[in-house]
Amino acid sequence: MSTSSSEIGSRRLDLAGTRDFAVAGAGPARRDALAAFNRAWLAEVWDTATGGTRIEGVALAAVGSIGRGDAGPLSDYDLVLLHSERSLPARELTALADRIWYPIWDAGVRLDHSVRTVTQCRQVAAADLTAAVGLLDLAPLAGDEQLVAAARSTVAHDWRGNARKRLPQLVEAVAARHQRQGDLAQSIEPELKEAHGGLRDMTVLRALAEAWLADRPHGGVDAAHTLLLDVRDAVHVVTGRGRDRLGREDHDAVAALLGHHDADDLLTAVSHAGRVVAYALGGTLRRAGQSQRARTLRIGPRRPQMTPLGHGLFASDGEVVLGSARLAASDAGMPLRAGVVAARAGLPIAPATLDNLAAHAPAPSDPWPVGLRDLLGDLLSAGPGLVTVWEGLDQVGIIDAWAPEWAAVRSRPQRSAVHRHTVDRHLVEAVVRAAGLVRRVSRPDLLLVAALLHDIGKVRGAHDHSVAGAELTRRIATRWGFGVHDVEVLVTLVREHLTLIELATRRDHQDPATVDAAVAAAGGDREVFEMLLALTEADASAAGPAAWTDWRATLLDQLAVAVRDRLDGPPRVGVPIGGQEAPGDGAGLLDATVLASVRAGEPNVRVIATGGSHRLDITDLDRVGLFADTAGLLAAESHTVRTAILRTVDGVAVNEWHVESPSGAVPDPERLERGLARLARGDRGPLTTLDRRRAHLPRPSGRSALGSPGQARALVVPGASSDATVLEVRAQDRPGLLHELGAALADAGISVRSAHIATYAGQTLDTFYLTGADGLSLAPARVAQAVSIIIDTCDGI
């Protein structure tokens, strides 16, 4: 074989070319061909470096992916030049190493290299845990194979002999890596190698087996490993770089290369593979720990310590196990009982027990009897332990037996900026959050089931996941044995699970039309409304910090107060959602002292802390442009506006602003009062900071092509208010945009009665309630003018 250095990169890519990527089962064959090429070329490099002369006691070996034979098209080479102490003089050994390394570098291949004796390999492995795991894969490439075999066997012998000391170190190192790199299964841009459930964890599994502490799982784990390697290879081909991260920009190309329907199907497969590997690693680490403890405590067989948990289940060495394998076949509710016991104890169910339950537990009748339905409620109310237990049940197919519809959302990615989990994991997290809210509602069981199913309609082709999910919920809840009335309540909760948060954040809660919409969502039923309210919080808080903030909690509280007043129910006892006191209507702030100072031209600002945000009650003489001036002043002070509710009482504006400060700064009421007074006199000085900041930012270049993300949208929301025109605005956010919008509308004589502000991933999702000089809704021509003003302002025209 004669291969020039310039051909190496293209040959490696050719061997992993696009032709065979979509062919089922082609991955291992493709990697075998690439491994053969790598070995042949490196043997050629060796022959050239040695002049074809056999040198006793010297060998070229590989570790890492080259040593394992699963390297990608553009993977690094990790090579070791092994030698015995008396094989070659130091100068000749250095010269030989140079003759090997330089052709590899010249070929553009990234190289990690070392020159070591067998003794030095042992020393490095003893001092460096990562190096020890890597040297377990040491494989000969050329030269003295017996020397390589001696080095590998010696390192493996030391690894097994020091397992008692190294296992805790390995567990700690794995946990630290997972903390740094995140969970592959829950990432929209997964790190395929280092993340939890990634390729590095497969190396750890092999290392645990090499220590003779535990055998690693095969079957599904090997299939998952193959899939991750295929995706890694496709990333190399698509990007032309030896990357291990599946970036957003590469989703479509990698999906097409691997023959997936679309990028979401690719991510679903990757997520599922990561979950399989992660689950296998967790179980194998537990097996290894149990084996080590058994060896340490006594010589010979050790009777396991069994703590009774009830129903024939026991806690044993950190897991829940069945006392008798026959119990699995005797009771259709045994998987649920095991789940309840394990989740409440905060322990995983042992893999062998899960396999036994999956294989032998009878299928539940259709519909479920009351006892099984009650057990499901007990499982869902178990708290944080549910996450691990549900994952185990799902891994062996028990969840599919309960709800075949679950398969469509399993590992399904979510591309929304507010979501941090796949659809199925989000549903389980929402149940955990809902379990902490059950005392607020009259039917905890319905709240928990609704939390489990609220996004079950997020499947391919669903136009509205809430509507699709409602129909799936009807089918599932009926199968689970709920009565007709309860089924309809669950359908309502799933169908309307987004309604309250959308009304709270995008509508004026004091507008009767907003309250009407919230009441209608709950069917006019106070108990259903309380469940919908709790489901809203559980859903948002499970999604992530971007979806559940202090200001969102406050807005939901405000809406809840208004709806309860409409439903004529007594005030709810206990802490409101978000733990904050619901604000008043603003009119109560007009005491004689404040009113006198405001009429004298002195604005009044009251700052109220609400967790991580602040509510500003701003009282000032009403005037055209007050909204714009306030928004600009807050932007100049680096406060992010979340909501503005504006009212006028006898010519005095009583406005409520909710703001967040990225820097953590507390708004200074006196500084804001001085700024508002200066702006009222026509002094634009307080906005100088904002003007300077905007001057250094690129301005929008105008309207882009229709449908492009750069073009602002302003949509009229019919029926949202009886006495105001409601517009929803979508645009690219920038500092001071709210001020610009308010000023442009004020110049046209259009008043902003209230504004509800949200920003996700740099995009505004704002709602404005607009009125004319008469305080009423805008006429059609004025509506068109307002839409044009907003779009032009957002687009910088």
| pLDDT at position 499 over 80 | yes
Same domain, residue pair 413 and 522: yes
Whether pLDDT at 173 is above 90: yes
**Beta carbons of 543 and 531 less than 8 angstroms apart:** no
| Predicted local distance difference test score (pLDDT) of residue 706 | 34
Same domain? For 368 and 401 the reply is yes
Q: Is residue 302 part of a domain?
A: no
Residues 182, 191: Cα–Cα separation, whole Å: 8
Distances (CA, A) of 721 to 404, 716, 726: 42, 11, 7
CA–CA distances in Å: residue 582 to residues 396, 505, 578, 604, 758: 47, 15, 10, 21, 20
Residue 730 is predicted with a pLDDT of: 86
Task: Look up the CATH number of the domain holding residue 40.
Answer: 3.30.460.10
The reply to whether 238 and 325 lie within a common domain is: no
Same domain, 241 and 329: no
In a domain, 617, yes or no: yes
Token reading at 505? 């954040």
Same domain for 484 and 357: yes
Q: What is the 3-state secondary structure (H, E, C) of 518-542?
A: HHHHCCCCHHHHHHHHHHHHHHHHH
Residue 266 lies in a domain: yes
Sorting pLDDT into bands at 50, 70 and 90, what band is 416?
confident
Identify whether 316 is part of a domain. yes
Model pLDDT for residues 761-771, shown as the tens digit of each residue: 567 888 999 99
Max mean pLDDT among 230-239, 438-447, 471-480, 613-622 falls in 471-480
Least confident of 8-17, 199-208, 392-401, 541-550: 8-17
Q: Is residue 729 part of a domain?
A: yes
Asked if residue 35 belongs to a domain, the reply is: yes
Q: Please tell me whether residues 320 and 341 are part of one structural domain.
A: yes
Q: Are residues 424 and 320 in the same domain?
A: yes
pLDDT classification of 527: cutoffs 50, 70, 90: very high
Pair 67, 141 in one domain: yes
Average predicted confidence (pLDDT) for the chain: 87
- The mean pLDDT of 421-437, rounded to a whole number, is 96
* pLDDT of res. 584: 42
Is residue 102 over pLDDT 60?
Answer: yes
Lowest model confidence (mean pLDDT) among 167-176, 226-235, 404-413, 749-758? 749-758
Structure confidence at residue 215 as a pLDDT band (50, 70, 90)? confident
Task: Give the end of a domain, one of 579, 607, 626.
Answer: 579
Looking up residue 716, the CATH number of its domain turns out to be 3.30.70.260
Over range 659-686, report the average pLDDT: 89
Residues 786, 718: one domain?
yes
Give the pLDDT confidence score for residue 582 in this predicted structure.
Answer: 38
Domain shared by 33 and 145, yes or no:
yes
* pLDDT grade for 698, boundaries at 50, 70 and 90: low
What's the confidence (pLDDT) of residue 573? Answer: 39
CA distance 777 to 795: 25
Dihedral sign, Cα of residue 324, residue 325, residue 331, residue 333: positive
Residue 367 binned pLDDT confidence (cut-offs 50, 70, 90): very high
pLDDT at residue 574 greater than cutoff 70: no
User: 368-405 pLDDT, tens per residue?
Assistant: 999 899 999 999 999 999 999 999 999 999 999 999 99
Q: In one letter, which amino acid is 772?
A: G
> What residues make up the domain containing 481?
307-579
> Virtual CA dihedral for 311, 434, 513, 617, nearest 10 degrees?
160
Q: Tell me the pLDDT tens digit for each residue of 244-289.
A: 999 999 999 999 999 999 999 999 999 999 999 999 999 999 988 8
Give me the pLDDT at residue 4, please. Answer: 54
Q: Is the pLDDT of residue 48 over 90?
A: yes
> Of 297, 327, 361, which one is at a domain's C-terminal end?
297
Question: DSSP per residue over 374-424, as a string?
Answer: HHHHHHHTS-TTHHHHHHHHHHTTHHHHH-GGGGGTTT-----TT--S-HH
Share of the chain above pLDDT 90, in %: 62
Task: Indicate whether 437 and 317 sit together in one domain.
Answer: yes
Nearest to 185 by CA among 356, 394, 12: 394
pLDDT value of residue 545: 84
Over range 529-558, report the average pLDDT. Answer: 91
Provide the domain count of the chain: 5
Q: How confident is the model at residue 16 (pLDDT cuts 50, 70, 90)?
A: low
Q: Give the total residue count for the chain.
A: 797
- Assess if residue 741 is contained within a domain: yes
Q: Are residues 620 and 691 in the same domain?
A: yes
Domain end, chosen from 667, 696, 725, is at 696
18 has pLDDT over 70? no
pLDDT surpasses 60 at 302: no
